[in-house]
Amino acid sequence: MDTNMDQGIGLSVEQEFNLRCFADQVQQMSREQAQAFLIEQHRLMMVQKTMYQEILKHEWNLDSGFAAR
C-alpha cells in the first residue's frame, strides 16, 4: 500500500510488525467478516477524524467563533 501520502512517512519496525500481524489476522477471516471489519474500521477512522478536528478547534480557539475577537 504505497501511496503518495505514505512516501514521506515511514513506519517504525514495531508498526511494520503490527501491520504484518494485522494482515495475517485479516487473511484468516471470511469474506463477510472482513467486510464487516472494514466497515467498522472506516467508521472508527471517521470518529477519530472528528475528534481530531474538535480538539484542534478547541486548541486553536476556533470553537468560540469570530464574534469574540
pLDDT digits (tens, 9 = 90+) for 2-48: 455 556 689 999 999 999 999 999 999 999 999 999 999 999 999 99
Whether residue 61 is predicted with pLDDT greater than 60 in this model: the reply is yes
Q: Which residue has the cell 467563533?
A: 65
pTM of the full structure: 0.64
- Indicate if the pLDDT at residue 52 is higher than 70: yes
Contact in structure between 29 and 37 (CB atoms under 8 Å)? yes
Predicted pLDDT of residue 40: 97
Find the angle CA(7)-CA(3)-CA(17) to the nearest 5 degrees: 75
Query: What is the H or E stretch that residue 26 is in?
Result: helix 13-27
* Gap between the Cα atoms of 9 and 13, Å rounded: 13
